[in-house]
Structure 1
Amino acid sequence: MEESVDKVITQMKDEMKKTLSSYKKYLTTVKTGRAHVSVFEGIKVESYGQQMQLKQLATISTPDAMTVVIQPWDVSIIKEIEKAILKANMGFTPQNDGKIIKINIPPMTEEDRKKVVKLLKQESENYKVALRNARKKALKTIKDLEKEKIISEDESKRAEKEVKKALDDSSKKLDELMSNKEKEILNL
């Protein structure tokens, strides 16, 4: 029943890939002192009687590194978009000219950068815990398979090595992503 060990390892690797993918998505939302459309895309706007994401209602662009321009497809909801940005409490003041909303991104102070990096490291640790939990679950399943004599001790040892390697590789990727984001934040 070698395939059951392979299935366990495949499931664990898939979990780790999802965790890394989720982490990458999280990194796009981290405030860096530069204009990023991803910071604004998920803002919920009350429009047409329901909550919708800003990216569903407008074109969001960055004409330069310090400016975000939001151009609603329907200018009648521009006030709602402006309210939603203020309500999101991100520290930005939108400027509305009736057709577009312009947001100037203030430069981050050294203290702000250090705070963001500290939060980034804390959040990174949460994602590492998720990776370790995936490993723990896989190892438990492998041990159970060995106990039930479904796999041999040798197969169990081989599987444990593969699990350890997968965790090491995923942790290394996560560290690289965090390190790159940290450099981006501190070197602006």
Structure 2
Amino acid sequence: MDDELNFIIDSAKEAMDNAIGHLEKQLLNIRAGKASPAMLGSVKVDYYGSQTPLNQVANVNTPDARTLTIQPFERSMIQAIEKGIMQANLGFNPMNNGDSVIINVPPLTEERRKELAKQAKAEAEDAKIGVRNDRRNANQEIKNLDLPEDTQKDAEAEIQKMTDAHIEKIDKILAIKEKEIMTV
């Protein structure tokens, strides 16, 4: 019986950790003023008829805080890379010099910063919802086990403690990202 209970608690912890991992990955896509290769993580390029992630057809580098350079593995891919960046609708205007694609990252306006902060908040809220759903699922599984009432209450309290810790961690991650976005 204890094994089943431990399994439920471990599964809930793993699911909550996954929600935080997903949040961190999503926040990488929200730019915070500085150029970063992660900004182009969602870009897909038409590579011989199939949609391929940009990082599989080119190297993405940041020579300075305001510039991204994309060096394709094949020179013939330059047009496709430019087209993929435009289709991703990231607000970038790619230019090419014949060898590589260059993107100048424009400084963020105050309005755009607030928009990005709002987007980060929405991602954090989604992560909190995921954590709460994991708590609900774990509590439901605990109720389905035939446990003495005090054991069941202890397990639910442990799940709640874990939930609170994960939500606190999400709040900290969001605060750091908001500060990063709002810093000029």
User: Which bracket does the TM-score occupy, shorter chain normalised?
Assistant: over 0.9
Query: Within 2, Cα distance between the matches of 1:38 and 1:98?
Result: 24
Q: Could you say what secondary structure the match of 1:69 adopts?
A: strand
The answer to whether structure 1 residue 62 and structure 2 residue 66 are counterparts is no
Q: Which residue of 1 aligns with 2:51?
A: 51
Q: Which residue of 1 aligns with 2:33?
A: 33
Q: Could you say what secondary structure the match of 2:180 adopts?
A: helix
Deviation for aligned residue 1:104: 0.4
TM superposition outliers: structure 1 runs of 4+ over 4 Å: none
Q: Which residue of 1 aligns with 2:174?
A: 178
**% of aligned pairs identical?**
40
TM-score normalized by the length of structure 1: 0.95
TM-score normalized by the length of structure 2: 0.97
Query: Within 1, Cα distance between the matches of 2:54 and 2:115?
Result: 27
Contact 1:45 1:52 in 2 (8 A): yes
Query: Within 1, Cα distance between the matches of 2:7 and 2:84?
Result: 45
1:141-152 matches, cutoff 5 A: 141-145=141-145, 150-152=146-148
The answer to whether structure 1 residue 158 and structure 2 residue 154 are counterparts is yes
Q: Could you say what secondary structure the match of 2:60 adopts?
A: strand
Deviation for aligned residue 1:118: 1.3
Deviation for aligned residue 1:155: 1.1
Query: Within 2, Cα distance between the matches of 1:60 and 1:142?
Result: 48
Query: Within 2, Cα distance between the matches of 1:3 and 1:128?
Result: 27
Q: Structure 1: where are the runs of 5+ without partners? A: none
Q: Could you say what secondary structure the match of 2:166 adopts?
A: helix
Q: Could you say what secondary structure the match of 1:42 adopts?
A: coil
Query: Within 1, Cα distance between the matches of 2:57 and 2:16?
Result: 33
Query: Within 2, Cα distance between the matches of 1:9 and 1:2?
Result: 11
Contact 1:68 1:103 in 2 (8 A): yes
AA of the residue aligned to 1:138: A
Tell me whether 118-127 or 162-171 shows the greater mean CA deviation.
Answer: 118-127
AA of the residue aligned to 1:52: T
Q: Structure 2: where are the runs of 5+ without partners? A: none
AA of the residue aligned to 1:182: E
Q: Could you say what secondary structure the match of 2:5 adopts?
A: helix
1:112-131 matches, cutoff 5 A: 112-131=112-131
Contact 2:29 2:41 in 1 (8 A): no
Query: Within 2, Cα distance between the matches of 1:132 and 1:96?
Result: 47
AA of the residue aligned to 1:90: L
1:84-123 matches, cutoff 5 A: 84-123=84-123
AA of the residue aligned to 1:64: D
Contact 2:34 2:65 in 1 (8 A): yes
